[in-house]
Amino acid sequence: MVSTDYATYIAGLPRILAGAAALFRDAEGRVLLVEPNYRDGWALPGGTIESDAGETPRQAARRETLEEIGLDLEPGRLLAVDWVLGAARPPIVAYVYDGGVLSDEQFRAIRLQEEELISWKLVEREELPTYLLGSLGLRVQHALDALADGGGPVELENGRPPR
């Protein structure tokens, strides 16, 4: 049984948000992006970790991929973790996993979650800053670098390595 003092202590701790996404590519190295209908800019398939339900970041990346694009795929290795401060919301911890290279058949099987997404597209690395706003663009660039050099996961703060 949890004591009232401990429960009060836990209730008073700062809150953070957490999200997880998968970085999918095609055979040419283009990145799969999705276009949300609830905010500006594009994103990787992913979303909020349901920690109240005991979900881990890896489980969230898989669940969100299934919900958003209709593909049930086990995420690969962790590529990046980003601590993102925000003025109008609590901080976010964002996890990016390697989603792998999708086959033509898998791309044809994509089915968007119509409640949240408008469209999807494959984007060249050089074009990513046009689509990915704020620290997300930097996060994806660093995740691609970690993927290319076999390193990672890379630790980021607002999309950049800490000083």
* 5, 8, 152 from 1: Cα distances, Å: 12, 14, 40
Residue pLDDT, tens place only, 24-34: 999 999 999 99
Residue pLDDT, tens place only, 103-158: 999 999 999 999 999 999 999 999 999 999 999 999 999 999 999 999 879 999 99
Entry pTM = 0.92
| Residue closest to 75 by CA, chosen among 86, 89, 65 | 65
42: helix, strand or coil:
coil
| Residue closest to 131 by CA, chosen among 119, 149, 115, 146 | 119
Give the C-alpha separation, 130 to 153, whole Å.
25
pLDDT of residue 143: 98
Residue pLDDT, tens place only, 62-108: 999 999 999 999 999 999 999 999 878 899 999 999 999 999 999 99
Give the C-alpha separation, 122 to 76, whole Å.
19
CATH of domain 15-157: 3.90.79.10
Higher pLDDT, 12 or 32: 32
Higher pLDDT, 12 or 83: 83
Domain extent listing, the chain? 15-157
What is the DSSP secondary structure assignment for residue 56, as one 8-state letter? -
